[in-house]
Structure 1
Amino acid sequence: MNDVLTFLQAYGGVLSLLGSLAVLLLSTKFVTREAHAAALGERDGRIKALADKFDVLDDRVFRVESEIKHLPDKDTAHRMEMAISRLEGRLETMDERLKPVASMASRMQDFMIEQGARAA
């Protein structure tokens, strides 16, 4: 025990100085309360901004999903495409059937014009 006391008496000042330097060095390495509070405030602000942005995006996704619900699915689109192609075929058939009627109407118009010219 005497050895420890003798050591502390001889080197106590140096040890105290080294301890103070260690505390000073460590105080520059760790964050202060004010800096920590500022960092927490900044983090909370960023979290709030991200939460607001998330809410806006959530609303947009909801609107897009509600609009997409009304669109036809793949099978419905395919059935519509097939129905349109059948209608095109029917229209082409009808066009072929109406060509003689159109030529007959043209001949009737020519005949009526000739009749009108003779009468005048």
Structure 2
Amino acid sequence: MTPEVLAPWISLTLSVIALLSIVYGWFTSGEKAVAADLTAHKEAVSKGVKEVGETVSDLERRVQALEGELRHLPDREQAHRMEIALEKLNGRIDNLATKLDPVSAIADRWQELILEQAKK
């Protein structure tokens, strides 16, 4: 083969290689940007996951504190029994108040008697 016959074939081969290099570079150049974006998104997601985990931990602590505070409070049955006891106590106080009315009247009359005797 003579160089005049090989020259067009070598030129065509080199042109195809150059064209393929350009096409490959064009397609893979966006790949770097996508990889950078993907890395940024992964970092943002991991940061968000950490923040959510911290928030959940804070909420768990707060719930545990509230549960600890609520354990010693009376339940529904105990509150009902206390209401009944208070009603009984109010009834007894009202009964005592009605029984003390005559005593109060006696005290008032006694005071009037003492004041009248003091005037004499």
Alignment TM-score, normalising by the size of structure 1 = 0.74
The total of aligned residue pairs comes to: 104
**What is the CA-CA distance between 1:35 and the residue it aligns to?**
1.6
Name the residue aligned to 2:110. Answer: 108
Q: Distance in 1 between matches of 2:28 and 2:91?
A: 88
* 1:29 CA drift (Å): 8.1
Distance 1:81 1:67 in 2: 22
TM-score of the two chains, using structure 2 as the length reference: 0.74
Identity of aligned residues (%): 29
Equivalent of residue 55 in structure 1, options 40, 47, 57: 57
Cα offset, 1:25, TM superposition:
5.6
Structure 1 gap segments, 5+ residues each? 1-8
- The one-character-per-residue Cα deviations of 1:27-53 (angstroms, maximum 9, x if unpaired) are 648962222111111111100111111
CA RMSD of aligned residues (A): 2.4
Gaps of 5+ in 2: 1-11
- Local SS of the residue matching 1:65: helix
Distance 1:92 1:25 in 2: 94
Q: Counterparts of 1:9-28 in structure 2 under 5 Å? A: 20=23, 24=26, 28=30
